[in-house]
Amino acid sequence: MNISMLSISLGIVGPLGLLILLILAGIVTHRYWGCRTGSLRWHTRNLRFKQIAAIASFFCLAMAGSYGVIQEVWAVIYLIIALKTGTWWIRIAISQRS
């Protein structure tokens, strides 16, 4: 396997995936703008944010694993992003349960 081609592919897929996830978060923010706290739209918005955060966390974990296999420093950066989004997701999930 050609490691340089894999590195170039990951260099394209990683930022593009993060950009798409940020655009999705912006769409959710725009769609549910001005909803009242506790309403059905507010709960739906929070559900969508939790879904996007979970997908982002798994995406960054996959990218960290991919970069880790080819032993590049980007693995650590994607791992930090994955841990940050994962802890945000856990905190939101626990606070909504109580």
Give the per-residue SS3 of 57-71. Answer: HHHHHHHHHHHHHCC
CA atoms within 13 A on the CB side of 82: 17
Q: Mean pLDDT score of the chain, rounded to an integer?
A: 90
Residues in the chain: 98
Rounded Cα gap, residues 87 and 50, in angstroms: 11
Rounded Cα gap, residues 98 and 86, in angstroms: 19
With a pLDDT cut of 90, the percent of the chain lying above it is 54
Q: Is residue 83's pLDDT more than 70?
A: yes
Quick check: 22 and 59 in contact, CB under 8 A? no
Instruction: Give the pLDDT of residue 98.
Output: 58
Q: Mean pLDDT across the stretch 90-97?
A: 82
What digits encode the pLDDT tens for the residues 22-62? 999 999 999 999 889 888 988 899 889 889 989 999 999 99
Rounded Cα gap, residues 52 and 46, in angstroms: 10
